[in-house]
Amino acid sequence: MGSPSISVIVPVYNNESSLPELHRRLTAVLSGTGMPYEVVFVDDGSRDRSGEILGGLATTGPSTVVVSLSRNFGQHPAIHAGMSAARGSVIILMDADLEDSPEDIPVLLAPMIEDPALEIVFSTFDDPEGPRKRLSSAIFHRVFSRLSRTRIPRNLGTFRAFSAKVRDALLEYPERSAVYGPLMSQIGFSSVTVEVSRSAPVGRATSYNLRKRLSLAVSSLIYYGSALPTLVLTAGTTLVVLSSGYLAVVVGAYALGQRALPAGTVLLLSVSLLTSGVLMLSVGVLTIYAYQIFKEVLGRPRYHVAARRGSGLP
């Protein structure tokens, strides 16, 4: 790395109440590092006053770039837009709601400055969040780590630093439904994990409801793990082996004249219910894949940029 420069990427979706303070604290911390920097805000179709506030920051603040998407596309397409715009040799990704503290940026940078060959610094956090949010993220992480067999530390945050090389690698992934959290845990490169503190979010608690988070979990599983079909196949095989084994024993005992057959209807009904259950499950998984393949085949743009304001690193 030559002389390092920093790009901070912040996806923004309805964060009007935290943006001014976020920008102020970011500017203070970043100018304190003595490195050239830029802050890239991606307005992901906010419906509150975020766009207006960002417009003001782009014209008054130094090194502030605002990329406005044409509508709400979601956090990960917004991150893609931010990574495409970032020019720094080190990229920092953080949420806009001040759950991540700008003051922790030097903590993320320190390992990279110490070892210039280091490519990724992940962060984990102590969790002061509400029980509902914690439950849904915990389910997400638990299910994902288990099923995808990817080792992901508990409480892994979006807050992280990575090199331009890693950014380029991430941008090479053509899939429309890229989820950068799990993707970054799978692409390799040298990494370390540091612990940071987490504050309560400023503004609304989260823009994810259980449905949005579950659909994120499903995309992650489809794209970054082969566990879903494996699970269904295992379940199907187990049921077939168990039920045919049971039938063989029952019918065998009957044929040898040792026993009468058990009540037939009950037996048949339960077996056929189990079998159709497995079939429906498999068809369900196929449908999920077919839908995702359909989306990928369409190859639609991930997002549209409606406007770009401000100026960042050269």
Backbone angles phi, psi at 192, to 5 degrees: -130, 165
Minimum distance of ligand UDP from residue 52's CB (angstroms): 16
In the complex with ligand UDP, the residue whose CB is nearer, 67 or 232, is: 67
Q: Does 182 bind ligand UDP (CB under 6 A)?
A: no
Q: Which does 104 bind (CB under 5 to 8 A by kind): Mg ion, ligand UDP, none?
A: none
What residues numbered 57-86 form the site for ligand UDP, per CB under 6 A?
A: 72, 74-75, 78
C-alpha torsion angle, residues 251, 252, 258, 263 (rounded to 10): -10
Minimum distance of Mg ion from residue 97's CB (angstroms): 4
Q: At what angle do helices 210-224 and 131-148 cross, to 10 degrees?
A: 10
Report the residue from 99, 100, 104, 129 that binds Mg ion according to the rule CB under 5 A.
99
Alpha-carbon distance of 39 to 58, in angstroms, equals 10
Strand partners, 67: 42, 308
Report the residue from 45, 82, 201, 312 that binds Mg ion according to the rule CB under 5 A.
201
Q: Which does 140 bind (CB under 5 to 8 A by kind): ligand UDP, Mg ion, none?
A: none
- Residue 102 gets which letter from DSSP? G
- Sequence-separated (6 or more) residues with CB below 8 Å from residue 40: 7, 8, 9, 10, 65, 67, 82, 85, 86, 312
Minimum distance of Mg ion from residue 21's CB (angstroms): 15
Minimum distance of ligand UDP from residue 136's CB (angstroms): 8
In the complex with Mg ion, the residue whose CB is nearer, 16 or 95, is: 95
- Residue 156 gets which letter from DSSP? B
What residues numbered 95-134 form the site for ligand UDP, per CB under 6 A?
A: 95-97, 99, 133
Q: Does 88 bind ligand UDP (CB under 6 A)?
A: no
Q: Which residue is nearest to Mg ion (CB)?
A: 97
* H-only helix segments in the chain: 19-33, 50-60, 75-85, 105-114, 131-148, 164-171, 180-186, 210-224, 227-255, 264-298
Interface contacts to ligand UDP, rule CB under 6 A: 11-13, 15, 44, 72, 74-75, 78, 95-97, 99, 133, 201, 206-208
Residues that bind Mg ion (CB under 5 A): 95, 97, 99, 201
